[in-house]
Amino acid sequence: MKKYGIIILMVIALVCIPLTVFAAEDKRRRPNIIFILVDDLRYDAPSYANGFPGIRTPNIDRIAHEGVIFSNAFVCISLCSPSRASFLTGVYPHIHGVRRNEGEEIDHAVTPTFPMYLRDSGYETAFIGKWHMSNYSGPRPGYDYWLSFKGQGKYEKPDINENGTSYITNEYLTTVLNSKALQFIRRQRTNPFCLYLSHKAVHEPFTPEDSHKTIYPDMTFAKPANFDDTFEGKPAWQRGSLAKGGADRVPASIPPVPWNDKRPKQVDYFRALASVDDGIGAIFKALEETGQLDDTIILFAGDNGFLHGEHRRGDKRVAYEESMRIPFIARYPRQIKPGTAVRDMVLNIDLAPTLLDLAGIPIPKQMQGLSMLPLFGGKPSSWRSSFLYEYYVDLTPSIPMMLGVRTPEWKYVTYPDIDDVPELYQLLKDPKEMTNLALLPAYAAARDTMQRELDAALKQSSFRVEEERSAADIPAELVLQYTFDGAGVKIMDVSGHSNDGTPSASTHYAPGIHGDALVCDGKTIITAQKSESLSPRDIPFTVSAWIKPGRKNGVILARGGASLGFALSLKNGKPVFTVRANSIPASVSARNELPEGWTHITAMLTSKRELKLFINGEAAGSVPSRRFIAADPNDGLDIGGDGGSPVLAGNAPGFNGLIDDVQVFRGELSIEAVRRNAQH
């Protein structure tokens, strides 16, 4: 009887333990973590947001309805690679250094990612999907399991890197990622896990899975309220990107154009989302079947927004709401009540500190985001009242660098690299951002206040201007030289870089300044294909040639197009060097017409971002350019004309006359080198 009495006492004791003790233990339990990131998914795309009637995302909606919706979630940069780096590191792009979609990578030693901290504390970690930093697909620090691909990847027949082993699969990419995520979730384990599921979907080219290609057959899209934006009073670069004459002819406003409510590409965007939603449904099922559902926090977000015709734009990058805002939802019944709604402004940099806080790991001092845990249970005593937005010129160079700040009521955006007006919007009265108040006298005080807010945000976030290499870091290197001596089917590059040229038609030669010279008739063009050695991206560069003109107008050489590139030409007998760093051209022209006979011309973009022109070794003109060319143009280098997208407006003709000894240098030539090259 004594034994049974002891058992009864133990049962009574257990019953008498307050439920709050179990609740406290429940909160201390370290959750499994699943973070699902979708590419280019705007804030109102899932059906719970009701932005596009007829769209169905029931499994995404389940996260929202059974958890929290952050209705004012933003990215601090609306671009894939930098935003993803901010999700991982909890810091702004100017801190982690990934500013563009051009192969930049996190320095894991300087800005460790949240999975690195979780793994060190005992979590089993996995990264599955799109990494999109640097140009290789192999495993990164902090993951026990790795599956990724280079860059954007491909929806169909993707090249996969699984734990360092590469292979090609015939499966649709989203299906592959969903399947690998389920395998990881169903593993037997004793420690908590963190799964980062990073989709390529729904990035362009919008490519749905076969099983979803016919859903939404009759879907149409209502015209966005701000599609008819005329851009009057807004920055000239926005009007220039839409005007028929491009950046060279910028009208005061843009007239309205018709809207087409049948948009097949946009339908495919939502069809591609359906496979992501199916995968989330399978994740719910796997968690339920393995008894892990309520022990797992599921978070879902977009890496940036996307414009579907708002302000007559597609894509992202700009500081308009549709570009900056993202869906951000989370389900974790141990700490989040179903149906929780949070209107405070949260950012992509808040993910990392939130997950570390949830796992009981001290938040590193370098993280600039805030833990969202206080928002899970209600409004915290204090929260951010503004945030910094930054953007750097990328592969769409017509969009300039921008720095801006947003508060609940106001948005202020500046363009520090170009001479253009800022933007100021009163969001509560003008949520579609149609009226720029920045230049109106009645709002001068508001503009000054927001400028101070921006200055404070820059200082608080330790903003620093992007470091650019000096001329000393880039010694002048000859990367192309055509002498035209003994030229045949190909024009041989004698620089040693194999940038051989291909003529557009049969070529003719005549005695030149050094051996043979190319005879130009205004039609025949020699093209050197794009190559790494010819890239002018973010560096000073120099081009030179001997010419003997037959006419006063014509393109001597050109690379790029109306967005970015350069051209050396003759206009009314005067040499002109033009550089397009971000659509708007900068040009330097010689003061005088060339004399008859042979002339040596050197043109360069210097380390101080100046355009300089030299005639026969002597300075002939100089103007500021403000910046280097932001990306390597897609078009090759053309000699004798501009055969690709034209750099110069007005259909400039090809060169007529003789060209000899064309040289291209990475880097800036010294004046002594310029003079040596100009000698017979």
* CATH code for the domain of 307: 3.40.720.10
| Whole-angstrom distance, CA of residue 283 vs CA of residue 567 | 54
- Looking at 381, 403, 438, which one is the last position of a domain? 381
Per residue in 582-602, pLDDT (tens digit) is: 666 889 999 899 999 999 999
Report yes or no on 423 lying in a domain: no
* Of the listed ranges 376-380, 490-494, 577-581, the one predicted with least confidence: 376-380
| Whole-angstrom distance, CA of residue 206 vs CA of residue 155 | 9
Instruction: Say what the pLDDT of residue 418 is.
Output: 86
Q: In what order do the strands lie in the sheet with 296-302?
A: 165-168, 159-162, 145-148, 124-129, 193-198, 32-38, 296-302, 328-331, 68-70, 340-342
| Whole-angstrom distance, CA of residue 638 vs CA of residue 659 | 13
Residue type, 655: F
Instruction: Say what the pLDDT of residue 537 is.
Output: 87
Instruction: Say what the pLDDT of residue 377 is.
Output: 84
Residues 502 and 627 in one domain: yes
Instruction: Say what the pLDDT of residue 464 is.
Output: 83
**Closest to 447 in 3D by CA, of 427, 420, 462, 426:** 426
Task: Evaluate if residue 41 carries a pLDDT over 70.
Answer: yes
Instruction: Say what the pLDDT of residue 10 is.
Output: 42
Residues 477 and 352 in one domain: no
Q: For the residues 272-281, what does the mean pLDDT come to?
A: 99
10 Å Cβ neighbour count for 186?
13
Q: For the residues 376-400, what does the mean pLDDT come to?
A: 86
- Looking at 364, 381, 398, which one is the last position of a domain? 381
Task: Evaluate if residue 5 carries a pLDDT over 50.
Answer: no
- The domain that contains 665 carries what CATH number? 2.60.120.200
Largest distance between two CA atoms of the chain: 123
**Closest to 203 in 3D by CA, of 273, 103, 126:** 273
Contact 639, 518 (CB under 8 A): yes
What does each C-alpha distance from 658 to 276, 636, 680 come to in angstroms? 59, 21, 16
Per residue in 237-265, pLDDT (tens digit) is: 999 877 665 455 688 999 999 999 999 99
Q: Is 658 helix (H, G, I), strand (E, B) or coil?
A: strand
| Whole-angstrom distance, CA of residue 69 vs CA of residue 63 | 9
Q: For the residues 144-150, what does the mean pLDDT come to?
A: 97
Report yes or no on 15 lying in a domain: no
Residue type, 175: T
Residues 90 and 200 in one domain: yes
**Closest to 299 in 3D by CA, of 86, 90, 74, 34:** 34
Task: Evaluate if residue 40 carries a pLDDT over 50.
Answer: yes
Position with higher pLDDT, 5 vs 59? 59
Residues 268 and 373 in one domain: yes
Report yes or no on 506 lying in a domain: yes
Torsion of CA 398, 400, 406, 409, to 10 degrees: -60
**Closest to 557 in 3D by CA, of 442, 635, 468:** 635
- Per the prediction, the chain carries an average pLDDT of 91
Position with higher pLDDT, 542 vs 473? 542
Q: Is 374 helix (H, G, I), strand (E, B) or coil?
A: helix
Q: How many domains does the chain have?
A: 2
Q: How confident is the model at residue 466 (pLDDT cuts 50, 70, 90)?
A: low
Q: Is 477 helix (H, G, I), strand (E, B) or coil?
A: strand
Residues 135 and 279 in one domain: yes
Q: How confident is the model at residue 618 (pLDDT cuts 50, 70, 90)?
A: very high
Contact 547, 657 (CB under 8 A): yes
What does each C-alpha distance from 236 to 241, 434, 553 come to in angstroms? 9, 15, 29
Task: Evaluate if residue 25 carries a pLDDT over 80.
Answer: no
Residues 369 and 481 in one domain: no
Domain span at residue 354? Answer: 28-222+264-381
Report yes or no on 124 lying in a domain: yes
Instruction: Say what the pLDDT of residue 488 is.
Output: 73
Report yes or no on 6 lying in a domain: no
Task: Evaluate if residue 506 carries a pLDDT over 90.
Answer: no
Q: Is 37 helix (H, G, I), strand (E, B) or coil?
A: strand
Per residue in 88-128, pLDDT (tens digit) is: 999 999 999 999 886 689 999 999 999 999 999 999 999 99
Report yes or no on 554 lying in a domain: yes
- Looking at 338, 354, 381, which one is the last position of a domain? 381
10 Å Cβ neighbour count for 205?
10
